[in-house]
Amino acid sequence: MTPPPYEELEFFLRQWNNRSNENAGQYDGNGLVHLMLAILDNLRENEPWSDLPEIRDSMTDEQAAFFLRLADYVRDNPSEHV
């Protein structure tokens, strides 16, 4: 399987909402979260900690604030499945 070019994949992930198929009207946030978790696994396994400043600099302040809201929620609400 050949992944799409980076720009196409990024555009797809930014625009995707699952509202144009058989589940029209339903937003599959859980599906997007699983994609995000795959990305986090990839970062954990491959990204050197020395690149963290570059990662942060790539985020807008709005993205960083949302990321922190997610992290705060995860920290404050431990999973019962772990």
Instruction: Classify residue 2 as left (phi > 0), alpha (psi -120 to 50) or beta.
Output: beta
Residues 18-68 have pLDDT tens digits of: 665 665 556 677 888 888 899 999 989 998 888 889 989 999 999 999 999
Cβ atoms of residues 67 and 59 within 8 Å = yes
The domain spans of the chain are: 1-46, 48-82
Rounded Cα gap, residues 54 and 41, in angstroms: 18
Rounded Cα gap, residues 15 and 9, in angstroms: 10
Whether 1 has a pLDDT exceeding 90, the answer reads no
What pLDDT does residue 61 have? Answer: 96
Rounded Cα gap, residues 38 and 28, in angstroms: 16
- Model pTM? 0.70
